[in-house]
Chain A
Amino acid sequence: MTMQTSSTPATLSERKTVAIKVIGVGGAGLAVLARLIRSGLAGGGFAAVNTDAASLAASEAPEKLQLETRLLRGLGSGGDPDRGRTLAEENFPRLKSLCEGMDVIFIIAGLGGGAGTGISPVLARAAKETGALVIGFVMTPFDCEGPRRQRLALQGLTEFKAAADGLICLPNQKVFKLIDENTTALETFKITNEYLADGVRSFWRLLTCTGLIDIHLDDLCELLRDRHAESAFAVAEAVGPTRSREVAEKLLAHPMLDGGAMLAEADALMINILGGPDLTMAEVNRVMEQMNRHCEHAQVVMGAAIDEAFRDRLAVTVIATHKNLEPVAAPGSPRAGHEAPAQFVRQTIGARPAPGFGPPPPATSGSPATRSLAPETAASHQRRKPARLLQTQLPLESASKGRFDKSEPNIHEGEDLDLPTYVRRGVALN
Chain B
Amino acid sequence: MFEPASSIIVGLEVGTSKVCAVVGDFGADGVLKIVGLGQAPSRGVRKGEIVDQELAEEDIRQAIAEAEQMADVEIRSVYLGVTGRHVRGFNNRGLHPIFSAEHEICEEDVQDVIKNAKSINLPTQNHVIHAIRQHFLVDDQDGISEPVGMLGSRLEVDVHVVHGNLNRLQNAIRTVKGLQLEVDDIVFNGLASALALLTTEQKELGSLVVDIGSGTTEYVVCSNGIIKHTGVLAVGGDHVSNDLACGLKTTLRRAERFKLEHGSAMVDDSIKGQTISIPNENGLAPKIINLEHLRRIMSLRLEEIFVLIGQDLDQTGALAYLRGGAFLCGGSARTPDVARLAEQVLQMPVSAGKTNTISGLKSALDQPEFATAIGLVKFGSFHHRRRAVKPSLAGNLKATLRQLPWLSRFL
Contact = CB atoms under 8 A, between A and B. Distances in A.
| A and B assemble together | yes
Interface of A: 400-404, 407-408, 410, 412, 417-418, 420-423, 425, 427, 429
Interface stretch (B243-251, B331-339, B343-351): B243-251
Contact of A420 (B46, B252, B301): B301
In the A-B complex, the 7 residue pairs with the smallest Cβ-Cβ separation, listed nearest first, are: A420-B243, A421-B300, A421-B301, A402-B242, A403-B242, A400-B246, A421-B304
Contacts of B301: 420-422
A429 B293 contact: yes
B5 to A, nearest CB: 37
Nearest to B255: A402
A403 B238 contact: yes
A408 B165 CA distance: 14
B246 A410 contact: no
A404 B290 CA distance: 25
A408 B85 contact: yes
A417 B239 contact: yes
Interface string B18-55: 00000000000000000000000000001100010000
A410 B300 CA distance: 17
A417 B252 contact: no
Interface string B349-369: 000000000000000000000
Nearest to B241: A403
B306 to A, nearest CB: 12
B233 interface: yes
Given A407-B46, A417-B233, A421-B243, A402 B297 contact: no
Given A402-B246, A407-B46, A417 B234 contact: yes
Interface of B: 46-47, 51, 85, 233-235, 238-239, 241-243, 245-247, 252, 290, 293, 296-297, 300-301, 303-304, 308
Given A403-B252, A404-B238, A404-B239, 8 more contacts: A402-B245, A402-B252, A403-B238, A407-B51, A408-B47, A408-B85, A412-B233, A422-B243
Contacts of B304: 417, 421
Nearest to A372: B246
Given A402-B252, A407-B47, A417 B235 contact: yes
Contacts of A418: 239, 242
Contacts of B300: 421-422, 425, 427
B234 A410 contact: yes
A420 to B, nearest CB: 4
B308 to A, nearest CB: 7
A324 B113 CA distance: 63
Contacts of B235: 410, 417
A427 B246 contact: no
B250 to A, nearest CB: 11
Contact of B297 (A408, A417, A420): A420
B384 to A, nearest CB: 35
11 contacts: A402-B242, A403-B245, A403-B252, A407-B46, A410-B235, A420-B239, A420-B246, A420-B247, A421-B300, A421-B303, A423-B246
Contacts of A423: 246
A429 B295 CA distance: 11
A427 B252 contact: no
B238 A422 contact: no
A328 B151 CA distance: 81
A315 B235 CA distance: 50
Contacts of A410: 47, 85, 234-235
A397 to B, nearest CB: 14
A401 B252 CA distance: 12
B126 to A, nearest CB: 16
A156 to B, nearest CB: 39
Counting chain B CB atoms within 10 Å of each CB, the highest count among A401, A403, A410 belongs to A403
A429 B308 CA distance: 24
A408 B51 CA distance: 11
A403 B300 CA distance: 18
B296 A427 contact: yes
B266 to A, nearest CB: 15
A429 B244 CA distance: 12
A373 to B, nearest CB: 11
A412 B308 CA distance: 9
A429 B234 contact: no
Nearest to A404: B242
Given A402-B252, A417-B235, A429 B297 contact: yes
A249 B214 CA distance: 50
A407 B239 CA distance: 12
Q: Which of B245, B246, B290, B301 has the most CB atoms of chain A within a 10 A radius of its CB? A: B246
A15 to B, nearest CB: 52
Nearest to B302: A421
Contacts of A412: 233, 308
Nearest to B294: A429
A422 B247 contact: yes
B308 A422 contact: no
A424 to B, nearest CB: 9
Contacts of B252: 402-403
A5 B85 CA distance: 53
Contacts of A417: 233-235, 239, 304
Nearest to B297: A422
Contacts of A420: 239, 242-243, 246-247, 297, 301
A79 to B, nearest CB: 48
A401 B304 CA distance: 17
Contacts of A422: 243, 247, 296-297, 300-301
Contacts of A425: 300
A402 B249 CA distance: 11
Contacts of A427: 296, 300
